[in-house]
Structures are given as C-alpha cells and as structure tokens.
C-alpha cells in the first residue's frame, strides 16, 4: 500500500488516515525461526507489510541477521557471532531450537534454515521495506550498513533503529538520507513530555518512534502525529492489546504473530461502512 511513496520520500512516513502497518517482528518469531530468510519470505506470503530484523557482524566483516550477540539461543552450536566467519555460521542450523510447544517438538530442525547475511535479504527483497535494528555497537557496523544500503539502492526502503544513542548519532551523521527511529533516551523523554503536553519545542530527528506497547497512550500518539512522526508499537502478541493500540491510531504494530494482526485488520475492514 505504500509503494507509490518509494520514489519521493524515505521509509513510509506518518500519513493521516493511513492503514496501520503489520510488521513481522524478527520475521514473525512466533511462527517461524526468527531472523531467517525463511521467516521473512513466509511473512511476506502471509501479507505482512514488512519485517523487522536485527543485525550483527561476523569476524570476516559480513552483516548477518541475528538478535543475540551469541548463537547459543537459536542454533545447534555456541559462540559469539563476531568470533565466527560467515562460512562457519552457514554450517549451523538456525531452525534448531525453534519450538511452539515448550520444547516437545522442534519442527524446523534439519530443514536447511540458515542465518542469512544482509546481502541475501536485500537481494531477496529488492522492493520491500525492511526495518533494521542495529544490535552490535562495538566494534561499530554503521559504515558497513551504509555501504550495503547504497549498494542495493535501499535508501528509501529501510528504517534503521538502535537503542544506543552513540550508535544512532553515527547513523544520522553517516546516513542523513535514511529514515531512523528514536533512541531509547529520545522515546523516554518524548513520553514524559507528552504527559505534560510539552512536546512542541522538543526537536526530534527520528521519522518514527518505536516504543514498547505499554508506553503508548493517546497523548503520546497525538503528540507524535503533530510532529509528523509515526508511532510503531512493539512487541504486541495479544489481540486485545492490538485492538487497544489500533483504537489509539498507532501507525504500525510489531508482532511475533503477524497472522493475528492481519486477521484483526481484515476483520476491522470488513465491518467498516463503505
């Protein structure tokens, strides 16, 4: 639904009366092995507007999609991402530990699901918007990210986020044409000011505020929209919470279960008067 904006602006900006984006958190971590090419492809087939991924860098300087600094939680091995080469990571089973029944079954083991490089993701999704969170702060990986974004002409199709203020400062300096999300410090300050109705003089370089769903209030959303800043809430997995946030007119919802969010959006659309 946002394709028409690709040529004239950055990542989908706040639009009055726009449909909320269904954002598959880590590609839909509740449905498939997180941060994998398989997950992103399945989320796209399902109808999610975009996926959110996390990135680290390997020992040989390749950006890869993985949430943790180690491979312990999601693969059949142990170790730090930055201590391993891409070739070593590619030998691992990224679906090994995924389970949705508390460990009774592991349906994605041995299915050939690997940790993907960011190159692979960009190549697989040349036109799709991608939400990228920088997890690694030291050594810095912003310059490598900028190079890849430029190489694949993704400048207008990414939203880059980082909780770390120093990392985000580098992103905004090196990548002035790329949309960014607010840092943790910026979110906290904006939230406090919104409760006091004092956000008007607050200067914010972000195109979006990605906030924990518990933080979202009507005041917060309205204050952000007055500054033409979108509000995306995370990580929202219960339908009841999704309904509350939609009523508050958030612009996007990051969820491990994009199927639930899509069902709710379609249900809402079907009952609206035409």
Catalytic annotation, residues: 25, 67
Q: What angle do CA 212, 25, 121 make, to 5 degrees?
A: 140
Determine the Cα–Cα distance for residues 96 and 255; give it in Å rounded to an integer: 22
Look at residues 33, 35, 47 and name the one whose alpha carbon lies nearest to residue 260. 47
Which residues, at least 6 apart from 260, have a Cβ–Cβ distance to it below 8 Å?
Answer: 237, 239, 242
- Considering only CA atoms, which of 55, 25, 157 is closest in space to residue 116? 55
**C-alpha distances out from residue 83 to 58, 61, 86, 89, 139, Å:** 7, 11, 10, 10, 12
In order of 34, 133, 168, 184, 211, the CA distances from 189 in angstroms are: 31, 20, 16, 9, 12
Q: Give the whole-angstrom CA distance, residue 58 versus residue 25.
A: 22
Q: Which two tokens stand for residue 19?
A: 């449909």
Query: What is the helix (H) or strand (E) element at residue 56, kind and residue range?
Result: strand 50-57
């Amino acid at each position: 639904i946002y394709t028409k904006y690709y040529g004239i602006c950055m990542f989908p900006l706040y639009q009055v009366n726009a449909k909320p984006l269904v954002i598959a958190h880590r590609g839909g971590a509740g449905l498939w092995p997180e941060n994998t090419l398989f997950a992103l492809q399945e989320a796209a087939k399902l109808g999610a507007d975009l996926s959110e991924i996390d990135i680290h860098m390997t020992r040989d300087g390749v950006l890869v999609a993985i949430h943790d600094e180690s491979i312990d939680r999601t693969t059949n091995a142990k170790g730090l991402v930055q201590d391993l080469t891409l070739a070593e990571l590619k030998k691992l089973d990224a679906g090994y530990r995924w389970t949705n029944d508390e460990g009774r079954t592991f349906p994605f083991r041995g299915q050939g699901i690997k940790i993907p490089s960011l190159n692979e993701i960009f190549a697989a999704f040349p036109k799709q918007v991608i939400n990228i969170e920088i997890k690694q702060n030291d050594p810095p990986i912003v310059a490598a990210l900028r190079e890849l974004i430029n190489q694949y002409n993704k400048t207008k199709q990414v939203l880059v986020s980082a909780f770390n203020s120093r990392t985000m400062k580098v992103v905004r300096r090196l990548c002035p044409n790329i949309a960014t999300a607010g840092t943790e410090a910026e979110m906290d300050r904006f939230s406090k000011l919104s409760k006091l109705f004092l956000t008007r003089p607050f200067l914010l370089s972000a195109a979006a505020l990605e906030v924990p769903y518990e933080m979202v209030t009507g005041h917060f959303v309205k204050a952000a929209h007055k500054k033409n800043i979108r509000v995306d809430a995370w990580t929202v997995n219960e339908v009841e919470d999704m309904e509350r946030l939609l009523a508050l007119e958030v612009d996007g919802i990051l969820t491990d279960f994009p199927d639930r969010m899509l069902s709710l959006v379609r249900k809402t659309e079907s009952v609206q008067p035409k």
